[in-house]
Structure 1
Amino acid sequence: MNNLINLSRAGPLFIQPSSMVKGKLYDSPYGVVDYSPAISKSGTFVAIASYGSRPWEGDFHELKTDIVVFPTSDPNNRLVVCKRGGWPTWSGDSTIFFHRQTDDGWWSIFRVQFPENPLEFSEFPVLPLRITPPGLHCFSPAAFNDGKRIAVATRRRGKCYRHIEIFDLERKVFHPVTELLNPAFHHYNPFVSSDSESLGYHRFSGKSIEGESRVPHLEPVASPIKDLGMLRINGSFPSFSPDGSFLALNPALDENGGIKVVKSEGSKRWTLIKGRVAFCNSWSPTEKYVIYSSLGPIFESTKTTVQIARDTFEPSYLNSDLQEIPCDVKILTREDTGNNAFPSCSPDGKSLVFRSGRSGHKNLYILDAVDGEFNDGIRKLTDGPWIDTMPCWSPNGDLIAFSSNMHNPNNVDAFSIYVIKPDGSDLRRIYAAGPKGSNDVDIERINHVCFSPNGEWLVFAANIGGVMAEPVSFPNQFQPYGDLYVMRLDGSGLRRLTCDGYENGTPTWHFGGELDMRRLCLGNDAGVELTGEFDEPLCITCDFN
């Protein structure tokens, strides 16, 4: 059995959902993608946000769906009532509210009105009317049946949390709801009872207290492939020790993160580096006490100082009761070289491949794993006005896989998989979905690629399945990479490993023999406390900073 560790982060996916109407289950037509169904007051009509049958355009923040209505008695009789809208909600049988991002950058609520039977109205699509004002974000509306109020989730300038408010449609004023009850928690996705007497919403429960459940260090995940075990870790960028007994990870990607080391059965973890921003770990295949990492902020420009570090510690500490392990941090890159990140160690432990922005573009370099670049121990591997990133060395050392947008340098959101030999020869692109030359493959976001232990398979995170839900309605939708997939080196044998509403990323294969899944520790004492928090998507918060 091969064992795969993966991280679940936020990110939605494409599905073809089923919905229940009047006790009957119906499916969206084949090849059509629908989201967020809502039933009219009488139960006669259903409104959906529909992407239709058009090819996915690579949208990550607003999907630019249309508002579509059909009768519950005839789901195939579909009518586009309004272009570009999401999350519909009915007021009666003739008014629909929905959200979308406006040209001024604010998410706002809009309204469309039509006769009681929209199928008899011939003037669709209708020009919608903007209801909520600019200056704050409003999304995921829920209408009261009195036609005078809607509940919305808002994110206001100067506020740190998303809250539920009621908007008076006649007086054009907001009435706060959740901020009066729990000002320091996020609240989202409101819904109203059929009698308009009750208002519900989602909210994280807050910090866990003693005796309550914790988030396990790692937990099993169902695998669609026989003999392939999968685990999810509580963190990011996992990397196993040479014998597979421990793994390094980043619990957060900010100054509170650093590096932690966890037993591979999840029972305990130690702090290796704290108080520093660290990401992307690569445990030396030949040294049990050396981990390579990136120190500095993630997702920054080529000029931002991020350095490759060699982190050395005494392995005997992993058998102690210490909570923090002493660690010697040796910087391998010069401070004036800008953004150096995503190290991957060669199988012989002598070299690192990493991404650097020192030339003004983010390309790949190979570095001496002990002395770094200070004794001329560096050479350039790729060169061009594009982004090469997240490299991974193959187990036998003959190939390096990485993500790049060199096929379309102008699109910084679309990446594909490439492989190259360590001497810089035989560069080629691997097509994970669709035929070579297809327009669809050039909107893919494929990242975090790594080799299987036998070097014959690649696992990677990709959005080739599209998105499953409206991203603005999900917490922590800042980088929707999508799901995990595996394929052979020639691009054949593509299999999807995960399918859920959250981002699955930074995978790694377990080396060093088979993991005993029966010994996996899931006790309440082997995990971290719930924080009751989530990060808003960057597309929501960037207007405030």
Structure 2
Amino acid sequence: MEPEGTIVFTTVGLPHFGFDVFSVAVPGDPGAAVTELTERRHTDGVSVNYNAQFADEDGDAVVFVSERTGSARLFLSRPGRTEPEPVPGFPESLFHDRPIVRDGRLYFVSAHERQSEPFKSWAAVYSTGVEGGEGPVRLTPTGAVDFSPALDRAGELVAVASYGFRRWGGDFRELDTEIAVFPVADPARRRVVAAAAAGWPSWGGGAAAAPPRLYFHRRAEDGWWSVYEADLGGGGAAARRVTPPGVHAFTPAAAGDGRRIAVATRRKGRRHRHIEIYDLESGEFVPVTERINPNLHHYNPFFSRGSNRLGYHRFRGEGSPGDRVVPNLHPVASPAEAQTLTLLRANGTFPSFSPDGDLIAVNGDFLASPGLSIVRSDGSRRWIAIREPALFATAWSPRERGVIFTSVGPIFETAKATVRIARVEFDPGELDGRDDGELLASARVTVLTRPEAGNDAFPSCSPDGRWVVFRSGRSGHKNLYVVDAARGEGEGDGVRRLTQGEWVDTMPSWSPRGDLIAFSSNRHDPTNPDGFGVYLVGPDGAGLRRVRVASGDVDRERINHVAFSGDGEWLVFTANLGGVNGEPVAGPNQFQPYGELYTCRLDGSGLRRLTCNAFEDGTPAWHPRRLSVGPAAPAGEPLRGEFDI
């Protein structure tokens, strides 16, 4: 039987980005003071729009990535048109990135062709005609992994950040990619021009007789992200560092005159990421966006062909035309192999469904208020159950519509930190009498575990509503325990130990059939704090077994946030099986940008990838009903562009 129902989950940061693509005119003299610049907005304020390039000579049209259809797809915005038009890609792909339009052709990244082994990204570079006609052509060799394509000014050479045929090594703060170059006409003739953690290539201009210049970024040995110039003359010289230490400079875009590069910078004592122009001859930086929007982050610069305009993306600003709301729930495109599932992205963390599926409980963003909210599952309304922050991991009682369990205390702490399991009760009848965003007067909190017991977190309720399984550090190690769902542990007689060992057992989920508890653990290698697999155990502690998901190299699995399907036949979880799809340094912070949602049967078979993007997806919950978000304008909180950079 196919997996069915609705999965609601969280994506780190994305609902709050509110990105649009902008550009400014570039002063003719690179050393001239930038005293007044007028921004032009190229995108329409719908959803999240980013990673653009100019699509014409004059810097009027842009091709960009947008999340407006529920996945990352490519669009073209032209002057005089109110809406962008979709450009050719792969309808079955959930991830497109880094588009380039040149001479009627589109070059881009897609991640839809499955690799033959786990721990390899599906990202590859393709080319197709802008107006359609012929189908897309894969430029990346089968089995290889390429990101961040750049096309030289003649349209003959492509440079990429590439893993080659290597598997992903777990790197994500700085990728261990190399810069490879190949002719468009013969992609098999690849050569590596810069190795050792090199990324985001950009072709420079210059004299016609001179070898083309290729710039890229990497973190230098002194710790500063810097721009380098690769040696393309065939002499084998090491890459030359271009930007100085003392400032982080990344995601370079080279101007066509061979004299300037635009970079995103982070400077000591300054909170925001800004776009600056670096003069290759004088060695001076010229600030651009800091003089226009000093209190906004700006990302990933790009020049027009004539170098007369400089583009980037940023938060569109409160009150700007376009989307102004972070939706309570947002539909996400389902993959072709999982059309029996509805995917919803929640504004909040650790969602869980009420028994009938009409309501969803969500926590705030760890330290943010409110700590616990209740949302209608059509996304139309939201109420506050607990205003205080520092709550995480919700679990609805399967038997009581007005009972939710959660953890109270700091997340990501040691075994002995004070975190407690709490029971939150409220009157569901109060919801209809309360306005959107109001605090529920009936909500009350009962703490079920003792504060001196240590780090008690991640509750999940038994199908009969009598017991709660949770993770506790009371022994000095994080293992699983079961506590009475109504009266708590009392003097100790209301709690019993389920697992035991000098490792981490965490994030349990009780099957709706009652016979199994799924959880994440590194018990197979307690010395590895990053390696977590899925395990199943009976409520009495019997029948412990591992669900092996990654064929061939299960000890590299990092699988968390496991949950059961409504019929208890399938598991959903977040995992690192597909590596990363882009360069994380190019966007706002993602704690685990390799985290994607997958589902499989209880024996590990039938593995299916549900999400594919450049962000971290996690904390899924599964309800057997197919739910849908209402067709009206989305309800939610104001969009303020608040996210972790």
TM-score (norm: length of structure 2): 0.76
The match for 2:440 is 325
Structure 1 residue 212, shift from structure 2 partner: 4.8
- 2:402 paired residue among 261, 283, 289: 289
Q: Would you say the 8 A contact 1:255–1:274 is kept in 2?
A: no
Query: Is 1:335 aligned to 2:465, yes or no?
Result: no
Q: Deviations over 1:123-167 (max 9, x none)?
A: 54x422223333432211111223332211112222222111122
Pick closer, same or farther for the CA change 1:102–1:374 going to 2, 3 Å: farther
- 1:6 paired residue among 6, 9, 17: 9
Distance in structure 1 (CA, Å) of the matches to 2:631 and 2:364 = 18
Distance in structure 1 (CA, Å) of the matches to 2:594 and 2:364 = 19
- 2:544 paired residue among 421, 427, 431: 427
The worse-fitting range, judged by mean Cα deviation, of 457-466 and 353-362 is 353-362
Distance in structure 2 (CA, Å) of the matches to 1:46 and 1:21 = 14
- 1:47 paired residue among 145, 159, 163: 159
Structure 1 residue 10, shift from structure 2 partner: 5.8
- 1:347 paired residue among 463, 470, 489: 463
Q: Would you say the 8 A contact 1:45–1:70 is kept in 2?
A: yes
Q: What amino acid sits opposite 1:98 in the alignment?
A: F
Distance in structure 1 (CA, Å) of the matches to 2:139 and 2:155 = 17
- 1:110 paired residue among 203, 228, 232: 228
Structure 1 residue 209, shift from structure 2 partner: 6.3
Q: Deviations over 1:469-489 (max 9, x none)?
A: 111112231222522111110
Query: Is 1:20 aligned to 2:23, yes or no?
Result: no
Structure 1 residue 288, shift from structure 2 partner: 1.7
Query: Is 1:471 aligned to 2:584, yes or no?
Result: yes
Query: Is 1:235 aligned to 2:348, yes or no?
Result: yes
The worse-fitting range, judged by mean Cα deviation, of 271-280 and 164-173 is 164-173
The match for 1:176 is 287
Q: Would you say the 8 A contact 1:213–1:524 is kept in 2?
A: no
The match for 1:313 is 426
Structure 1 residue 63, shift from structure 2 partner: 1.8
The match for 1:118 is none
- 2:214 paired residue among 58, 81, 96: 96
Q: What amino acid sits opposite 1:99 in the alignment?
A: H
5+ long unaligned stretches in structure 1: 116-120, 537-545
The match for 1:144 is 255
- 1:262 paired residue among 359, 362, 375: 375
Q: Would you say the 8 A contact 2:394–2:459 is kept in 1?
A: yes
Structure 1 residue 450, shift from structure 2 partner: 0.6
Distance in structure 2 (CA, Å) of the matches to 1:486 and 1:532 = 32
Distance in structure 1 (CA, Å) of the matches to 2:128 and 2:536 = 49
Q: What amino acid sits opposite 2:7 in the alignment?
A: L
Q: What amino acid sits opposite 1:379 in the alignment?
A: R
What SS does the corresponding residue of 1:502 show, helix, strand or coil? coil
RMSD: 2.3
Q: What amino acid sits opposite 1:19 in the alignment?
A: Y
Query: Is 1:69 aligned to 2:69, yes or no?
Result: no
Q: Would you say the 8 A contact 1:458–1:489 is kept in 2?
A: yes
Distance in structure 2 (CA, Å) of the matches to 1:384 and 1:10 = 35
**Paired residues for 1:76-475 under 5 Å:** 76-84=188-196, 85-92=198-205, 93-115=211-233, 121=234, 123-124=235-236, 126-208=237-319, 212-223=323-334, 224=336, 225-322=338-435, 323-326=438-441, 327-376=443-492, 377-434=494-551, 438-439=552-553, 441-475=554-588
Q: What amino acid sits opposite 1:430 in the alignment?
A: V
Q: What amino acid sits opposite 1:29 in the alignment?
A: P
What SS does the corresponding residue of 2:506 show, helix, strand or coil? strand
Q: Would you say the 8 A contact 2:342–2:627 is kept in 1?
A: no
Q: Deviations over 1:151-196 (max 9, x none)?
A: 1111222222211112223333322211111111111111111212
Distance in structure 2 (CA, Å) of the matches to 1:499 and 1:260 = 28
Distance in structure 1 (CA, Å) of the matches to 2:202 and 2:218 = 13
Pick closer, same or farther for the CA change 1:100–1:21 going to 2, 3 Å: farther
Distance in structure 1 (CA, Å) of the matches to 2:476 and 2:627 = 46
Query: Is 1:59 aligned to 2:171, yes or no?
Result: yes
5+ long unaligned stretches in structure 2: 15-94, 96-110, 112-120, 131-135, 206-210
Q: Deviations over 1:197-227 (max 9, x none)?
A: 2111111112246985423221333323243
The worse-fitting range, judged by mean Cα deviation, of 89-98 and 413-422 is 89-98
Q: Deviations over 1:442-496 (max 9, x none)?
A: 2222111111111111111112112111111122312225221111101111112
Distance in structure 1 (CA, Å) of the matches to 2:232 and 2:320 = 51
Q: Would you say the 8 A contact 1:365–1:380 is kept in 2?
A: yes
The match for 2:617 is 504
Q: Deviations over 1:43-82 (max 9, x none)?
A: 2321110111112212222221011011222111000111
Structure 1 residue 365, shift from structure 2 partner: 1.8
Structure 1 residue 408, shift from structure 2 partner: 2.4
Pick closer, same or farther for the CA change 1:474–1:392 going to 2, 3 Å: same
Distance in structure 2 (CA, Å) of the matches to 1:32 and 1:211 = 39
What SS does the corresponding residue of 1:99 show, helix, strand or coil? strand
Q: Would you say the 8 A contact 1:417–1:431 is kept in 2?
A: yes
Distance in structure 2 (CA, Å) of the matches to 1:79 and 1:459 = 40
Distance in structure 2 (CA, Å) of the matches to 1:522 and 1:179 = 39
What SS does the corresponding residue of 1:472 show, helix, strand or coil? helix
Q: Would you say the 8 A contact 1:460–1:485 is kept in 2?
A: yes
Q: Would you say the 8 A contact 1:381–1:423 is kept in 2?
A: yes
Question: Alignment length, in residue pairs?
Answer: 521
Structure 1 residue 30, shift from structure 2 partner: 0.3
Q: Would you say the 8 A contact 2:328–2:634 is kept in 1?
A: no
Structure 1 residue 88, shift from structure 2 partner: 0.7
Structure 1 residue 114, shift from structure 2 partner: 2.7
Q: What amino acid sits opposite 2:217 in the alignment?
A: H
Pick closer, same or farther for the CA change 1:398–1:27 going to 2, 3 Å: same
TM-score (norm: length of structure 1): 0.90
Pick closer, same or farther for the CA change 1:128–1:111 going to 2, 3 Å: same
Structure 1 residue 25, shift from structure 2 partner: 4.3
Pick closer, same or farther for the CA change 1:157–1:444 going to 2, 3 Å: farther
Pick closer, same or farther for the CA change 1:21–1:498 going to 2, 3 Å: closer
Higher relative contact order (CA 8 A, sep 6+): 1
